[in-house]
Structures are given as structure tokens and as C-alpha cells.
Amino acid sequence: EDQVTQSPEALRLQEGESSSLNCSYTVSGLRGLFWYRQDPGKGPEFLFTLYSAGEEKEKERLKATLTKKESFLHITAPKPEDSATYLCAGESSGTYKYIFGTGTRLKVLA
Amino acid sequence: DTAVSQTPKYLVTQMGNDKSIKCEQNLGHDTMYWYKQDSKKFLKIMFSYNNKELIINETVPNRFSPKSPDKAHLNLHINSLELGDSAVYFCASSHLEDSKGYTFGSGTRLTVV
């Protein structure tokens, strides 16, 4: 059965303290691995798509990487405005279905 | 504004009632989705329509019925509401074959009392 697991469940960082979020996946025929950011009371907001092992994408303080079994979201020198829940999702080839992880709640303290 | 908009934002209703949630997108996307987010923040696909055709129909109670009158609209009707239906329901849209992910609406918080 397709599954996506994220860790840690929650993470508290001081401003400027870099860290990584993990997304482990078992998705048959992975078509794409997606990262989203969700703020309280809002819908998820698209960040990145990764397609193949070794691929990396960057946006401001965020960098997403992909291996054959997991993806990492690296946050460099985070700021309080980076506080949110970060979700990853795998899309299974041919089904067009996302399998979401349960997210990592990130809190960055000033 | 270009967006995915869903109404209402909040819905409080009694058990046994029937309710509808509406969703509209003006992004020109060809595919729309309904997701359910439970109290643990887990997002699960319910339905998806591509060009008004149902392409994903997950195992949900048949009390839930989606309707897509055109590519820009996907509504969700729920009959005989139960306590366990309480959740946040998100509508989303995308181009089926591209890599830019989904655009989500801001959600409808349904509370069944």
C-alpha cells in the first residue's frame, strides 16, 4: 500500500537555526514528490515538485532534495515567518492521486 | 483575483441534515479535487474531476456526491450528515499533466452537532 511518512511531527527552532524535515515514501511508480506549506486556517500552498533521485529545488531559505526512498526539506537560517505546517505528497503514476503525509509543524522562535 | 474559492467557509449543522459546499476556480485548470482534512491534519483525496469527468472516486460513503457542471466548478453535496463528517474540506485544482502542483481553496470547516 502506498504510504508517505513525515518526521518529526513537530519542530521548534530558534531564528537562524538550520534544520531538515524528512519525508519517507513508498509510492508505486512515483510520478512526482510534492512539498506544500500550510498556514493555520488556510489551504496548502505549493512549494516544489521533485521527479527523480538526485534532483534539488530551492526557494529562498528552503531547499528540497529527493532520493529513491525519501525527500528532505532543508531550512537554512529560518525566520519566524517560516513557521507553518509542511506537507509532502507522493503522486502515483497512472492514478493522479496524491498520498499526503501528516505534516511537520514548524515553529521558529524570534 | 485568480484563485480557488469555496463557500461557505464555516458550516455548522445538525445530524441528519443535507448540505452543499461550492467550489469555483478561475485559473483555467482542467482538473478539480475534493480533499478531507481530519482533526490530525491528515489530507485524504475524496474525488477528482477532469474536464467534468470523474477520474478519482475514493472509498467514501455514498452520502457524499460530487457534481461538476463545468470545468470551473466542483460542488460537494452531503446527505444525512453524521458526527464523523466533521472536518475541513478543501477544494483544489490543477492541470492534470503539469508539475506545478495543486492550488487549494481556503477550506470549509464543517461541524456536525
Question: In a 3-state reduction of DSSP, which class is residue B83?
Answer: helix
Query: Which among B17, B14, B26, B15 has a CA at the least distance from the CA of B6?
Result: B26
Distance from CA of A37 to the nearest CA of B (A): 11
Provide mean pLDDT across the span B82-93: 96
What is the predicted pLDDT for the residue at B57? 83
Residue B65, class by beta-carbon neighbours within 10 Å (0-12 exposed, 13-18 middle, 19+ buried)? middle
- pLDDT at position B97 is 78
Residues of B within 8 A of A96 (CB-CB) are 31, 48, 50, 55-56, 96
List the beta bridge partners of residue A70: A24
Residues facing B78 on adjacent strands: B19, B64
* Residue B83 CA from chain centroid, whole number: 18
d(CA B36, CA B109): 10
Of B92, B100, B106, the CB nearest to A42: B106
Determine, for residues B101 and A95 on separate chains, whether the beta-carbon distance falls below 8 Å. no
What integer pLDDT is reported at residue B2 of this predicted model?
65
Residue in chain A nearest B91 by alpha carbon: A43
Answer yes or no: do A100 and B43 touch at CB < 8 A. yes
Calculate what percentage of chain B has a pLDDT beyond 90.
78
